Amino acid sequence: MKSTITARGTSNKMVIYAVVLMAGWAAAVVYPWPAGIHAADPSLLGGRVTTAAGTALAGIPVRAHREGGNITVTVYTNGRGDYSFPDWSDLSPNAHSVAIELADFTPVKRDAVALATGKTARVDFTLQPRQPALRDATASDIVAALPGTDEQKHLLIQCDNCHSLQTALKTARPKEEWVKVIRRMAGERAVSRETPGTRAFGQKKYVEPLAEYLAMVRGPGSSDDIPFKLRPRPTGDASTRVVVTEYDLPRPGTKEVNIFRGDRRAAWPHDVLVDPKGPYVWYTDHFTFFLGRLNRFTGEIKEYPYDLLPGMGRAEGGMVAAAQERAGNPGGGAHDMAYDPEGNIIFGMGGGTLRFNPKTEEFTRWAFGSNMFGLDPAGNVWYLDAGLHKLDPKTGAVKDFIVPDQTDDSTYDMEVDPQGRSIMNLYRLGQIGVFDPQTEKFTAIPTPTPGSGPRRGEIDAQGRAWMGLYWAGRIGMYDPKQREIKEFPLIPGNKAFAAPFLSPYSVAVDNKNQFVWTNDFNSGRLYRLEMKSGQATEYFMPLPYEIRDLTVEESAERATVWIPAYRPPSKVVKLQLR
């Protein structure tokens, strides 16, 4: 089977704001970059950002969009309010629009800024503060302003997995109506059972407490004005020395506060995979049957459609048939991706595994597999589905193994280490599971923080498994030599299950630079953890990306991580340290 749909990304038309002098101004001139300001870091574009009173503004993202293209590059102002785009960035000698768009400042934009080799175009901005709108608030911002205990807020913030809290709180309801909503959102199977190893709202014991809390903050007679409090942007040097490049995808969709995940009119990139020897970054689409390919040098996008065998995906049953029809019901599209030893791309979906040969552009399909899987050194696919199974892609043979009951239902992600052991993140149990195929023995190790919610992770070059502890707001690391798990908070002294309710969804390991990257699902921010010191650095993103996967490009000259921006406007995003 071989077919392609080709589309060169084109820019979304950005809203052109009528910016009067009171709101801000921008001036562009061309001049050699002055000595002493990033002298060793030549730039096509730079400038300064201040308030009307002349106060320098640090940590402000300045976005340059290539006119007629699908690439936007963002840099951040330093402590003096200065910004510059390094010469190694994806900025090119073309016309660009340059803009600052933040919730708490009046947007400013300069169109048709000409960038030329050997010269630096200077664009200065003066910003005027404005009252932020609710549509710009993240889930983290909203729970920060609501009354209630940490436990109540921790349950509520989970609603943002499928839709915004603006959607959740849009309508006032009495407690009995909130109970119905919670049961529908979580699914009847989840709310009929107890899962004491997790803090997930979708279980029997939390239905009544969450309904009571929602009735308190959004019951009959409550105000339609939902409070929120913006989290401060990081302004330190480490947090601002970063370049973020966005590549718009075909079918990007638009930002809508009330959109539920799964609108198939838009692309929903779930995972990314970087070609270490070529120009391509591949991505899976969660809700449609496409494998996407980005040329990271040109921005060109190519989509490869594929067909399913009977039983693959979820269209014929799965979550819906199991009484799990709920808001944002996961679709039949793919998740996890990996290269096999021959350089083919293996990716998984509910009830299916696919292999794509980048040279022949042909797919091979097997009607068994899972969204998340592990690939062993020999190229065998290990997956959970009513037991643990090993698929040999060379022969199509499947071998079955016995693991404890409900292991597949408790596991969110799994990997295979260099010794061929399957490492499973037992999300619902607050444990890490290890299956050794040599002894066929299964061992479970609890995380130090009960109910931590191990979600997605990766194995480093030393064979240690790193994972996001989603509920506890920290990173976990399982060392098979010590047979223990260590936890690393992303904010010093931050307690588990407490404000600001960080939810690390996924983890990517940078063996070359000894970093571990993760994201906070509730705010769209990224964090970089130093393996040796355990020190974390926070990064504010140009847009509040919804992130479900991170991938490090270790062959890159500088520390680089790739991100699929899942919720529309859909993008593939590259973050580079400078």
* Domain at 505, CATH number: 2.130.10.10
Count of the separate structural domains present in the chain: 3
What is the structure's pLDDT at 330? 52
Same domain assignment for residues 209 and 90:
no
Q: Which range of residues forms the domain containing residue 143?
A: 137-218
Using 50, 70 and 90 to split pLDDT, how confident is the model at 41?
A: low
What is the structure's pLDDT at 533? 96
Same domain assignment for residues 121 and 204:
no
What is the structure's pLDDT at 331? 57
The domain boundary residue, chosen from 191, 218, 245: 218
Mean pLDDT of the region 46-73: 97
Nearest CA-CA partner of 521 in 501, 538, 536, 537: 501
pLDDT over 70 percentage in the chain: 90
User: Is residue 507's pLDDT more than 90?
Assistant: yes
First-last CA distance in the chain: 43
Q: Which of 85-89, 245-249, 330-334, 452-456 has the lowest mean pLDDT?
A: 330-334
pLDDT in tens, 145-157: 999 999 999 999 9
Same domain assignment for residues 459 and 524:
yes
What is the structure's pLDDT at 189? 86
- Establish if 454 belongs to a structural domain: yes
Find where tokens 């061309």 sit. 30
What is the structure's pLDDT at 551? 98
Same domain assignment for residues 42 and 141:
no
User: Is residue 81's pLDDT more than 90?
Assistant: yes
Mean pLDDT of the region 417-435: 97
Structure-block tokens of residue 253? 């969709």
Task: Count Cβ neighbours within 10 Å for each residue of 143-155 and write b for 16 or more, e otherwise.
Answer: bbebeeeeebbbb
What is the structure's pLDDT at 318? 37
Same domain assignment for residues 77 and 180:
no
Calpha distance 98→25 (Å, rounded): 12
Full-model pTM:
0.91
What is the structure's pLDDT at 195? 87
* Domain at 113, CATH number: 2.60.40.1120
Question: Across 142-215, where does the E strand assignment appear?
Answer: none
